[in-house]
Structure 1
Amino acid sequence: MPEPTTQDEAQGKRTGAGAGFDLGQGPGRLLVWLYGVFTVAAASRSVVQMIVDFGRAPLAYVLSAAAALVYAFITYSLVRGGEQARKAALVCCAAELAGVVVVGTWTLVEPSAFPDATVWSDYGMGYLFIPVILPLTAMAWLRRAER
């Protein structure tokens, strides 16, 4: 394996044309970790709910599965790095935020549509509002990483 040629490469930072952001430490690493945890949490929850009692609240369970897919794609984009991945992560974070706002509002306006909660119900209250805070934080970090 060739020796790292720059100090950034030696420290494990992504470098080169369009690398975009550094996941070696700080906020980038925390975002990847949080999105990874939310991917597993949302996917596990939705799979178990769909297997055990899909007929009870199919909309809620499908929305939780969709949230898991969004979280997984954002995690992948953050890990992949590069300008295209950064832009894709920004778009997905905006879609995630829109989903949280729409589903959160829907669960408050028409609670009968959701006999069971989704990851995004009540703006993510069941997850300490992290589902609404996380995309805002990620978008701010990704925009800063653009520079």
Structure 2
Amino acid sequence: MTESATDTTPADQLGSGPGRVLVWFYGVFTVAAASRSIVQMIMDFGKAPLAYVLSAIAACVYGFITYSLVRGGEKARRAALVCCAAELLFVLVVGTWTLADASAFPDATVWSDYGMGYLFIPVVLPVLGMLWLRRAKR
């Protein structure tokens, strides 16, 4: 029997096992960040444009990671790994920035105060994602 192009090995299935939990969390955070930023931009963009744009960027990053985990394969794994690292960097930079200069953020972002408004999940999620993606390489 020959292997078809649609057959995948367990390492290709990034969204299986513990990866399903990551897919769920990233999916929820995609919807949450996108909904929040869209409503905020429509209702009062002038109040805190930087915060609202950062929330929209967070939604895009979360959405791409969700897609990559569901898609699977080595290219998707590498792309998701890079995005998780970038997400962690953004959370740390924005989190520190919001603590150092609160006046720059009249309204919160998903990543404000290291994700405190979301139970610190935004700072923990990329770490768990990177651990899973590195493990899935084996």
Q: Please, which of 10, 14, 29 is the counterpart of residue 20 of structure 2?
A: 29
- Contact kept? 2:11, 2:136, Cα under 8 Å: no
- Contact kept? 2:51, 2:108, Cα under 8 Å: yes
Q: 1:50 maps to which residue?
A: 41
Percent identity for Structure 1 against Structure 2: 77
Tell me how far 1:21 sits from its aligned partner. Answer: 3.4
Letter in 2 for 1:29: R
Tell me the alpha carbon deviations over residues 26-76 of structure 1, each in whole angstroms, 9 at most, x when there is no partner.
Answer: 311000000000000000000000000000000000000000000000000
Q: 2:105 maps to which residue?
A: 114
What is the alpha-carbon distance in structure 1 between the residues aligned to residue 44 and residue 8 of structure 2?
48
Query: Is 1:87–2:78 an aligned residue pair?
Result: yes
Structure 1 ranges of 4+ moved more than 2 A: 18-24
Q: Please, which runs of 5 or more residues in structure 1 have no aligned partner? A: 7-13
Letter in 1 for 2:22: L
What is the alpha-carbon distance in structure 1 between the residues aligned to residue 62 and residue 129 of structure 2?
12
Higher relative contact order (CA 8 A, sep 6+): 2
What is the alpha-carbon distance in structure 2 between the residues aligned to residue 15 and residue 134 of structure 1?
26
Q: 2:12 maps to which residue?
A: 20
Q: Please, which runs of 5 or more residues in structure 2 have no aligned partner? A: none
Tell me the alpha carbon deviations over residues 75-105 of structure 1, each in whole angstroms, 9 at most, x when there is no partner.
Answer: 0000000000000000000000000000000
Query: Is 1:70–2:61 an aligned residue pair?
Result: yes
What is the alpha-carbon distance in structure 2 between the residues aligned to residue 23 and residue 48 of structure 1?
30
* Larger-gyration structure (1/2): 1
What is the alpha-carbon distance in structure 2 between the residues aligned to residue 50 and residue 15 of structure 1?
41
Mapping 1:4-19, distance limit 5 Å: 15-16=8-9
What is the alpha-carbon distance in structure 1 between the residues aligned to residue 53 and residue 36 of structure 2?
11
Q: TM-score, normalised by structure 1?
A: 0.87
Tell me how far 1:22 sits from its aligned partner. Answer: 4.5
Q: TM-score, normalised by structure 2?
A: 0.92
